[in-house]
Amino acid sequence: MKNHEEKLEREREKLDLLIDEVMSAPIAKNKALIKQSRKVDALIVKVQKEMEKSNKSKGEHLR
């Protein structure tokens, strides 16, 4: 999970840089920004699923 969290942080930083670059242009027309945003979204989902899986397995150990 740590690996996905680190990758997520790097990709979020890239997204922030792209947002800064295109502040005056319509976001919907910037394909690089949309692509990076989707990449960050996918990583967020992976991290959340791993956290749920981890929490679930911790809960089973407590029973």
Angle formed at CA 19 by CA 26 and CA 29, multiple of 5 degrees: 30
Burial class (CB in 10 A: 0-12, 13-18, 19+), 37: middle
| pLDDT tens digits for range 7-61 | 999 999 999 998 888 887 777 778 888 999 999 999 999 999 999 988 888 776 6
Q: Where are the domains of the chain?
A: 2-62
Residue 60: what pLDDT? 66
pTM value? 0.66
Q: Which of 13, 18, 17, 10 is nearest to 34 (CA)?
A: 18
Residue 63 has pLDDT above 60, yes or no: no
